[in-house]
Structure 1
């Protein structure tokens, strides 16, 4: 009998669900709104209904499903408990208990959303075949996933892959976690925009001023990289700062994990070709052991599908 795996990627605004078969073929359900403001029980009920509908559409019974994996935008214990998921306002929730009400005989696994994206890239994508790898997701925040000996590594309490909270400097604003200097406050799309807005009034000749109609609230990370392509001085300063701190983060991770590959994902990775040469250069300049080989840096391949596909793979990796 064929075996199937279900993956659920819970985002701040939408939920994506995939059904993956034993041949790694994935079928996706239509995205549904997270509606986290209505409470986690409401969201879990919607997800359960979506899973049931996806199974029915593909003539798969729940008895044929090996496991259900769920990617969470926050901190989990890697088993069943969500400590905190700030973007959806979930705190101290045992998600497996809720899922058991709908699927009592099916194993349920949970993990951080960036960690499951790393699993997807390891199983299908840019780091397939790498025994040890680190994924860095550069989006609204900075997340990460760590693969050691072909297994997802989350540490004793599930926080080993909180790459965005590596402290890499002293910044002009605090991170949402309360600390100052987190990688997330230098290398996320949010951080890039905040720094651009800080420079805005002192750069009257910048193309960024022109492109935003002199309104700093119109700045986006994409716009900054577009200006960078046109060799705008303000954009160069912003991207240089981003690359500098990303290289510091990579060096710290290299010294701890020594992976074969670093994979860069998330929305900011769309500009990968614009910053990779400078990033490689700065990483090489900061190498602790300059005569030793280092892990290569590559771009993620799976895009927005990585979360749901990786969540489905949790049953194989945990």
Structure 2
């Protein structure tokens, strides 16, 4: 038997056929073309799924589950995308729509951050532990909480929004309407903003040369690359970013005490340049700093496959 994972993103729809050992045996993708009628997106999901099954010579009756990882607020019980503005979906019955087009009846849906965390829990950096949390550092800060192999999202399925815990009262404005949310400091966007602030106050930084004098060319990689070249301003940026990131992680550890927290997303590509000072600071600041057994910080392992494997594991 096989399972199918659908990673529905704002840019691409990635679909994979997953075997019993959580290996992706076949995958493909098509552009999402967000902004069109959601029914057209569902048709593309159904078509790509059908094409992959034909290529693998697998009958639909051998598919025990088709899981969908979708952005936005999700009602997994009723199979509804409550709100995903980038996909133009509001109270959209995605599961019911897909059932009309595919001979697969066991179809489920989950929030994409939760699904990615589940993927890492069953086949990646959190495999084999009971309490696992994934934090994704991208445009925002995503999070997923896995307890005893199951996604924890609260009684109303809206929990796990780790990026929106406030770490600074009346701090930076967040897109959610509040101020001081963790993601305004610790996302890739937050890192870029911190970098720009330091550059404006330090015109001699090598970072100006790296972006040809155009501050709008600053990326999440700029400060870490300059820091590796010895630029003191860039090192100050990385240190401040690490402080903010550690603040949120310590809050999570103090509340949940998970076995492992996995760090994913674009910023995680900095590897040990990110993780070494981060682990040292988190170890120092957490409430249980004197404990013999502590939460371990790891880099995520599955990269772009986490959503597919997680969706197939709902």
Under TM normalisation by the shorter chain, which class is it? over 0.9
State the Cα distance separating 1:71 from its structure 2 match. Answer: 0.8
CA distances 1:63-109 after superposition (whole Å, capped 9, x unpaired): 11111111112221233122222443433222112112113642111
Name the CA distance, whole Å, in 1 between partners of 2:26 and 2:198: 42
Report what 1:281 is aligned to: 280
State the Cα distance separating 1:153 from its structure 2 match. Answer: 1.3
More displaced 10-residue stretch of structure 1: 305-314 or 234-243: 234-243
3-state SS of 1:36 partner: coil
3-state SS of 1:102 partner: coil
Report what 1:106 is aligned to: 105
| Pair 1:311-2:306 in alignment | no
Name the CA distance, whole Å, in 2 between partners of 1:229 and 1:93: 47
Coordinate RMSD, CA, aligned = 1.6
Name the CA distance, whole Å, in 2 between partners of 1:229 and 1:196: 15
Name the CA distance, whole Å, in 2 between partners of 1:252 and 1:192: 20
More displaced 10-residue stretch of structure 1: 217-226 or 285-294: 285-294
State the Cα distance separating 1:39 from its structure 2 match. Answer: 2.4
Given that residues 29 and 50 in structure 1 are in contact (C-alpha distance below 8 angstroms), is that contact kept between their aligned partners in structure 2?
no
- With over 3 angstroms needed to count, the CA separation of the structure-2 counterparts of 1:25 and 1:111, relative to structure 1, is same
Name the CA distance, whole Å, in 1 between partners of 2:189 and 2:254: 27
CA distances 1:229-278 after superposition (whole Å, capped 9, x unpaired): 12322222222222111111111111221100011111111113102121
More displaced 10-residue stretch of structure 1: 29-38 or 47-56: 29-38
Name the CA distance, whole Å, in 2 between partners of 1:127 and 1:105: 30
State the Cα distance separating 1:13 from its structure 2 match. Answer: 0.7
Given that residues 20 and 26 in structure 1 are in contact (C-alpha distance below 8 angstroms), is that contact kept between their aligned partners in structure 2?
yes
CA distances 1:125-147 after superposition (whole Å, capped 9, x unpaired): 11110111110011111101111
State the Cα distance separating 1:287 from its structure 2 match. Answer: 1.5
Report what 1:26 is aligned to: 24
More displaced 10-residue stretch of structure 1: 139-148 or 98-107: 98-107
Report what 2:251 is aligned to: 252
Name the CA distance, whole Å, in 2 between partners of 1:186 and 1:250: 13
Name the CA distance, whole Å, in 1 between partners of 2:193 and 2:2: 43
Match of 1:74 among 61, 72, 76: 72
| Pair 1:272-2:300 in alignment | no
Name the CA distance, whole Å, in 1 between partners of 2:188 and 2:88: 21
Given that residues 119 and 152 in structure 1 are in contact (C-alpha distance below 8 angstroms), is that contact kept between their aligned partners in structure 2?
yes
Report what 1:175 is aligned to: 174
State the Cα distance separating 1:178 from its structure 2 match. Answer: 1.1
CA distances 1:135-167 after superposition (whole Å, capped 9, x unpaired): 001111110111111222121111221111111
Normalised to the residue count of structure 2, the TM-score between the two structures is: 0.94
3-state SS of 2:35 partner: helix
Given that residues 16 and 28 in structure 1 are in contact (C-alpha distance below 8 angstroms), is that contact kept between their aligned partners in structure 2?
no
Report what 1:54 is aligned to: 52
- With over 3 angstroms needed to count, the CA separation of the structure-2 counterparts of 1:28 and 1:195, relative to structure 1, is farther
- With over 3 angstroms needed to count, the CA separation of the structure-2 counterparts of 1:171 and 1:236, relative to structure 1, is farther
3-state SS of 1:30 partner: strand
Report what 1:141 is aligned to: 140
State the Cα distance separating 1:199 from its structure 2 match. Answer: 3.0
3-state SS of 1:241 partner: helix
Given that residues 76 and 110 in structure 1 are in contact (C-alpha distance below 8 angstroms), is that contact kept between their aligned partners in structure 2?
yes
Name the CA distance, whole Å, in 1 between partners of 2:287 and 2:21: 42
Name the CA distance, whole Å, in 2 between partners of 1:267 and 1:248: 19
- Kindly tell me the number of residue pairs found equivalent between the two proteins: 312
Normalised to the residue count of structure 1, the TM-score between the two structures is: 0.93
CA distances 1:25-66 after superposition (whole Å, capped 9, x unpaired): 313433211111112111111111100111111111111111
Name the CA distance, whole Å, in 1 between partners of 2:93 and 2:227: 45
State the Cα distance separating 1:283 from its structure 2 match. Answer: 1.1
CA distances 1:3-43 after superposition (whole Å, capped 9, x unpaired): 11000111121111000122333134332111111121111
- With over 3 angstroms needed to count, the CA separation of the structure-2 counterparts of 1:291 and 1:76, relative to structure 1, is same
